[in-house]
A and B are shown apart, each in its own frame.
Chain A
Amino acid sequence: MSDPVQQILQEINRKAEEEAQKILDQANKEAERIIKEAEEFATKQFQHEAHSRLILLTRQILGKAEYEGRIRLLKAKDEIIKRLQQKVKERLKKIILGEDPGISYADILYRLLKEAVSNIPSDNIIIISNARDREILERNLRKFEEMLRSELGRKISLKLSSDEVNCLGGIIAKSEDESFIYYNTLDGRLKEAFRKLRGRLNRLLFRQFLKEVYK
């Protein structure tokens, strides 16, 4: 075979090879695109479903653990506060029954009365208490009246109501026309003290004892 013919043959072969390779390359490229698109679609679907289910699952599992833990923690704190309240009540009862030699319950009653009278802009005061405190007040009524007059500089007149109040101790004072009432029972003061000290109690009792947990 002559050289020119040989050259033409080679050229035909080369061009065919080139064309075939080009066709295969394009097909491979297209196949890659098709698969990539499918993968992107699947990933999007997966992410969408997995994400929403994960949020729900996290809420279910972690939320439940957190919620249950908080409830149990609150119950524990509540129990301690109740223990504390019980301690205060026990101490109060001792004082009321005169079992605490350092504190006179009559003095306490006078203080409670003075605070109440100071807050009522009337000189004729009616006092309501429980039966036991009524006896103490009856015994000391004139003395307390004198003390109030001298300490407050007002012509105070005290009367004991025939009504009784069911409480640990303390008094309810009101003006004769009942337009002013001052509640100064020990029960009320106890409740108020715990309300006022709640933040401090939380800090003193719980944060101090829990801080090591958070270290």
Chain B
Amino acid sequence: MALDVLLEAEFYAQKKIEEAKRKAEEIIKNAIMRAEEIKKRENIEKRVEEFIEKKTSELKKKAEEIRRSFEEQIKRIYEIPDNVLSELAEEILKEVIGFE
């Protein structure tokens, strides 16, 4: 009687371990599938495209700042007063005609 009980317990224990092994195989199989998906070229390219898209918009904003900064400098150059140019012209004139 006791032997039957023990054999039955052993049978269920073995079944439990077999079930765990089956589950483990499933876990590994899923992980491999997931890994394949992660390594897929299209997925990496998609990530790169998304990143580049984001960076492009950031860089365009920066480029706009650079353009604005140059515009500001150019505007200031054109705003140089005429009297400043005339004073410098006199200085250069002295140099040209040899009078100090």
Interface residues, chain B, with chain A CB atoms under 8 Å away? 2, 5-6, 9-10, 12-14, 16-17, 19-21, 23-25, 27-28, 30-32, 34-36, 38-39, 43-45, 47-48, 51-52, 55-56, 59-60, 62-64, 66-67, 69-74, 76-80, 84-86, 88-93, 95-99
Task: Mark out the residues of chain A between 176 and 215 whose CB falls within 8 Å of any chain B CB in the assembled complex.
Answer: 186, 189-190, 193-194, 196-197, 201, 204-206, 209-210, 212-213
Give the residue name and chain of the B residue nearest to A8 (CB).
B6
Closest 6 CB pairs of A and B: A69-B70, A16-B13, A27-B24, A31-B31, A38-B35, A20-B20
Contact present for B93 and A30 (CB under 8 Å)? no
Chain A residues within an 8 Å CB radius of B97: 92, 95, 103, 108, 111, 186, 189
Give the CA-CA distance A91 to B95 in the complex, in Å: 13
Cβ of B71 to closest chain A Cβ, rounded Å: 8
**Inter-chain contact B76/A186, CB cutoff 8 Å:** no
How many interface residues does chain A have, given as a range? 35 or more
Cα–Cα, bound, A110→B66 (Å) = 52
Given known contacts A190-B96, A193-B96, A209-B76, A80 and B24 CB-to-CB distance under 8 angstroms? no
Q: How far is the CA of A57 from the CA of B31 in the complex (A)?
A: 36
With a CB–CB cut-off of 8 A, which chain B residues contact A1?
A: 2, 5
14 pairs across A/B with beta carbons < 8 Å?
A1-B5, A12-B9, A16-B13, A31-B31, A42-B43, A45-B39, A46-B51, A65-B64, A65-B67, A73-B73, A80-B77, A84-B85, A115-B98, A193-B95
